[in-house]
Amino acid sequence: MREIGCCTWIFGGEDLPAIAARATRAGLAGVEIHGDLSLDPVVAGAVFADAGLAIWSITPGDADISHPDAAVREAGLDYYRRLIDWSDALGHAPRIGCHGLVGRIRPVSDRDEDAILADSVARICAMAGDRRICFEILNRYESHQVRRVDQGLALLDRVGAANLFLLPDAYHMNIEESDPAAALRAGGDRIGLYHLADSNRGAVGEGHVDFAAQFAALQAIGYAGPLILEPAAPGPDPFSTDKGPGYRDRLEAILARSVRAIRALGH
């Protein structure tokens, strides 16, 4: 059976022991921790270890690494530099997620921002040493860059770093890919992590994503990593986790239903 976890950022600013308790009750085996540098990584690592939960990966905070303004870009790269140091204190070497500024859906100049992105990602990979960097593929409502697996593969080829992999997400693929399962197969062994939520960003099996096909594709390419759930509670504003009173309880229920649906599919 595959290991299943969730991103911790979905619970907003809830304290880590409460998040660990929710993950355990939902039947999860680990988490993707939010790269909030205000958290003490030693304490964070201990909280999840004490709960018997692995920390497989890190969701980065927002940082604009493809902005044509060098000062903006350097601030983003400095965040990743500090994030990599922060990750060392978690107790092991989790995968580190990477993406551009969420919500920048159009270029801000006539410069080649794809080239700028590739240069920044190459620098992050160099900072990371032998740690895995997983570039997350977003959708058109969150980014104007790298929205499909084929574009992600082109980025990997352009960067040429051995420690760079792709992070496709079933929810984003539902918007951008004509055949998400085929996209996963095309990604092959260059896929380093996988996120999932259904087409409505809700529980697995409660939208129209064909998860049986995607799981078969992951099996075919030999993906051995965890399934990282990243749903949102129902409600307004897709860029805010807070959907009103009780939203964290609703998220916990979504996670539990997702685990049951994944197990029912034989995974």
So what's the pLDDT on residue 110?
85
Residue carrying structure tokens 């409460």: 18
Which pTM was predicted? 0.96
- In whole angstroms, what is the distance from residue 174 CA to residue 162 CA? 28
Active-site residue identified among 176, 177, 230, 252:
230
By CB atoms closer than 10 A (0-12, 13-18, 19+), residue 117 is: buried
Rounded to an integer, the average pLDDT of 66-83 is 97
Token pair belonging to 238: 């897709």
Sign of CA dihedral 147, 170, 130, 44: positive
Tens digits of per-residue pLDDT, 121-161? 999 999 999 999 999 999 999 999 999 999 999 999 999 99
Active-site residue identified among 113, 136, 176, 252:
136
Question: Do the beta carbons of residue 231 and residue 261 sit within 8 Å?
Answer: no
List domains and CATH numbers for the chain.
Answer: 4-264 (3.20.20.150)
Rounded to an integer, the average pLDDT of 29-44 is 97
Give DSSP secondary structure letters for 145-178.
S--SHHHHHHHHHHH--TTEEEE-BHHHHHHH-S
- In whole angstroms, what is the distance from residue 179 CA to residue 194 CA? 16
* Residue 230 among the catalytic residues: yes
